[in-house]
Amino acid sequence: MYPIFLFTHSWLRWVVLISGILVVAFAWWGWFGKRAWSNRERLWGMVFNSSMDLQLLVGGLLYFVFSPLTTSAFSNFGAAMQNAAQRFFVVEHGFVMLIAVVFAHLGSVLSKKAADERGKFKRAAIWYSLALLFVLAMIPWDRPLLRGL
């Protein structure tokens, strides 16, 4: 099961990245272009949030159930914290990605609660941008970009 979940987690990152880039671009374009909030912004926000949620679910299953890396790290946590690669996956990657999911959801919720169009775009731009930056910072770029090919 581990290879299947790792493959899924690896490929799903591209859905997260593409939808994140689009929703951030639409939000900034709307904010500074004085555009009207539309179904497009709502839809891409929903795609971004949904893909982040699915990625969190798959990542959580990898982390807690299937990954031999986390299993070995938990057997000797002190040693794992001294190894930069293990520490990245056992602590840093998951923690920062969880924060990114929260920021993505804040972008959705807070933009809905804004009183005017400009406020919707501003809140979406800020929170979705933070979420995307955290995702970009925590992707292990040294791993295969297209796993399975």
Q: Which two three-digit tokens encode residue 38?
A: 């539309």
Burial class (CB in 10 A: 0-12, 13-18, 19+), 75: exposed
The model's confidence at residue 143, banded by pLDDT at 50, 70 and 90, is confident
Residue 147 has a pLDDT of 80
Phi, psi of 89 (to 5 degrees): -80, -30
Query: Token pair of 149, please?
Result: 């090919």
In the predicted structure, residue 122 carries a pLDDT above the cut 90: yes
Q: Do residues 106 and 124 touch, judged by C-beta distance below 8 A?
A: no
State whether residue 142 is helix, strand or coil: coil
Count of alpha carbons within 13 angstroms of residue 114, beta-carbon side:
18
pLDDT confidence band for 23 (50 / 70 / 90): very high
Residue 145: predicted pLDDT: 79
Distance CA 136, CA 100 (A): 10
Q: What is the pLDDT of residue 20?
A: 98
Confidence of residue 64 (pLDDT cuts 50, 70, 90): very high
Query: What pLDDT score does 78 carry?
Result: 94
Alpha-carbon distance of 5 to 67, in angstroms, equals: 9
Average pLDDT, integer, range 76-83: 93
Instruction: Convert 17-38 to b/e letters by CB count within 10 Å (16 or more is b).
Output: bebbebbbebbbebbeeeeebe
Q: Residue 36 carries which DSSP code?
A: P
Q: How many other CB atoms are found less than 10 A from the CB of residue 102?
A: 15
The whole model's pTM is what?
0.93
Residue 148: pLDDT over 80: no
Q: Which helix (H) or strand (E) holds 128?
A: helix 117-138
In contact, 53 and 75? CB cutoff 8 Å? no
Question: Residue 118 pLDDT more than 80?
Answer: yes
**Tens digit of pLDDT for each residue in 84-110?**
999 999 999 999 999 999 999 999 999
